[in-house]
Amino acid sequence: MKAVILVGGEGSRLMPLTMSTPKPVVPVVNRPFLGHVIAGLRRSGVTGVVLASGYIPSAIEDRVAGFGGPGFPIAYSAEDAPLGTAGAVKLAERHLDGAFIVLNGDIYADLDIEAMVAFHRSRGAKATIALTWVSNPSAFGVVEADEDGRVSRFVEKPPLHAAASHWINAGVYVLEPELLDMVPPGVPYMFERGLFPSLLKGGIPVYGYRMDGYWLDMGAPGQYLKLNRDLLLGTARSPLLDPFAADEVRAEGPTQVHESARLVGPVLMGEGCRVAKEAVVRGPVVLGSGCSVGEGAAVEDAVLWEGVEVGRGAWVSRAVLGNGTKIGEGVRVSDTALVGHMARVTIADV
Is pLDDT of 29 > 60?
yes
Question: By percentage, how much of the chain surpasses pLDDT 70?
Answer: 99
Would you say residue 8 has pLDDT above 80? yes
31-46 residue pLDDT tens: 999 999 999 999 999 9
Helix, strand, coil share (%) of the chain residues, nearest 5: 25, 35, 40
Query: Do both 261 and 297 map to the same domain?
Result: yes
Task: Examine residue 119 and state whether it is found in any structural domain, yes or no.
Answer: yes
Number of structural domains found in the chain = 2
Mean pLDDT for all residues in the chain: 94
- Closest to 128 (Cα-Cα) out of 92, 89, 179, 162: 179
Question: How far is the C-alpha of 82 from the C-alpha of 187, rounded, in Å?
Answer: 8
Which residue range forms the structural domain that includes residue 310?
Answer: 244-345
What's the confidence (pLDDT) of residue 337?
83
CATH number at residue 178: 3.90.550.10
Are 140 and 283 contained in the same domain? no
Q: What is the pLDDT of residues 223-259, one digit of tens each?
A: 999 999 999 999 999 999 999 998 999 999 999 999 9
Long-range pairs for 137-141: beta carbons < 8 A, 24 or more residues apart: 137/163, 137/165, 137/166, 137/167, 137/168, 138/163, 140/168, 140/169, 141/168, 141/169, 141/192
Residue 335's contacts (CB-CB under 8 Å, 6 or more residues apart) are 317, 318, 319
- pLDDT of amino acid 306: 98
Positive or negative, the Cα torsion across 217, 104, 176, 68?
negative
Q: Which H or E run contains 120?
A: helix 113-122
Specify the amino acid at residue 283. Answer: G
Cα Rg of the chain (Å, integer)? 22
The DSSP bridge partners found for residue 127 are: 175, 206
Same domain? 191 vs 281? no
Say what the pLDDT of residue 139 is: 83
Identify the CATH number of the domain in which residue 341 sits: 2.160.10.10
What kind and span of H or E run contains 171?
strand 167-175
- Judged against a pLDDT cut of 70, whether residue 350 lies above it is answered with no
Question: What confidence score (pLDDT) does residue 279 get?
Answer: 98
Q: How far apart are CA 188 and CA 195, in angstroms?
A: 12
- The per-residue pLDDT for range 297-310, each reduced to its tens digit, is 999 999 999 999 99
The answer as to whether 237 is a domain residue is no
- Separation of alpha carbons 285 and 229, rounded Å: 7
- Same domain assignment for residues 159 and 282: no
Over residues 126-135, mean pLDDT: 96
